Structure 1
Amino acid sequence: MLKSAVLPDELAPGWRPGDAVGMVRCVRQSYRVDLVSPGDPVLLWCSGRVAPGVHAVGTVAGTHPAGPEVLVRWTRLTDPVPRGALLADPVAQRAEVLRMPAGSNPSWLSPAQWAAVRALTPSAGRT
């Protein structure tokens, strides 16, 4: 899971629900970056007071060897998954992004948490 302090409209002006975009996202250089590989699935978590939650699903398209960045191919969700829906789910509510919202990118989901969040994203398909 990659986090953003801004909503999709600010990340990529003109990015509409259902549309796909490529985007470079900064990550903190740590052991977690070594666990990220092209083809890995990823979610975009938008934090803040306005509409916090999962706003896009995507796939890691590549990593930048010289810097702490990943290239992601995102598809914006038609219906974002609000933070409240994750808090209401007995598995998803234990996600790191909810327990430690100020944590760095990338954030981690267990396989059970991943399945719970994906079950809450019907407009995302099943990638």
Structure 2
Amino acid sequence: MTARAITDQTLGAWVIKCNPHKTDLAPMVDAGRAHENWCVADNYRTRLMAPGQPVLFWVSSHPRRGIWGAGRLTGTPVPGPQWKVSTNIALFDAPLLASDIRSTEELSMLEVFRSPQQSNPSWVDASAWEIVRTLLPA
């Protein structure tokens, strides 16, 4: 995936990142769902987010770093001192580990690997999304 502007044609899925040192994972794991609302940056990406678009839930800074869930955006981002977007993300029984994702050559340059400290939302392009979808649990 190359660094470029996101468009409706290039977007595969949004990626919401969660740092468990800042956001407690235990209640989400117990519920089997990620929180419904997530902070996002005030930028052009956020303005492209729309209900129904796919979203992946990436857990960073964790021994089992990777994609822990998937779902859809359920609303448009809400502006404010801290912008927020609503989601419906089910967590998997076991995460798709970053090491497994990175071992797939076509996914080794995903934005979450290249710019792990970047603010939400991150993204995967349409071609990477097609590959990621085949790796996700049913």
1:44 aligns with 2:60: no
- For 1:31, the equivalent position in structure 2 comes to 44
Distance 2:71 2:92 in 1: 10
**Structure with more contact order per residue of length (Cα contacts < 8 Å, sep ≥ 6):** 2
- Give TM-score, length-normalised by structure 2: 0.78
Q: 1:27 to 1:12 in 2, by over 3 A?
A: same
Show CA shifts across 1:53-110 (max 9, x none).
Answer: 0000010001343331100001111231100011101111111001111111000111
Kept after mapping to 1: 8 A contact 2:54/2:71: yes
Q: Could you tell me which runs of 5 or more consecutive residues in structure 1 were left unpaired when the two chains were aligned.
A: none
Aligned residue type for 1:88:
S
The match for 1:69 is 84
Amino acid aligned to 1:65: V
Q: Following TM superposition, by how much is the alpha carbon of 1:8 offset from its aligned partner in structure 2, in angstroms?
A: 7.2
Is the CA contact 1:9–1:15 (under 8 Å) kept in the aligned structure 2?
no
Aligned length: 120
- The CA deviation at 1:13 is 5.8
What percent identity do the matched residue pairs reach? 28
- Provide the aligned C-alpha RMSD in A: 1.9
Structure 2 residues not aligned, in runs of 5+: 1-14
1:79 aligns with 2:90: no
Aligned equivalents of 2:53, 2:110: Cα separation in 1: 18
Is the Cα contact below 8 Å between 1:8 and 1:55 reproduced in 2? no
2:19 aligned partner: 5
In 2: Cα distance, 1:12 partner to 1:96 partner: 24
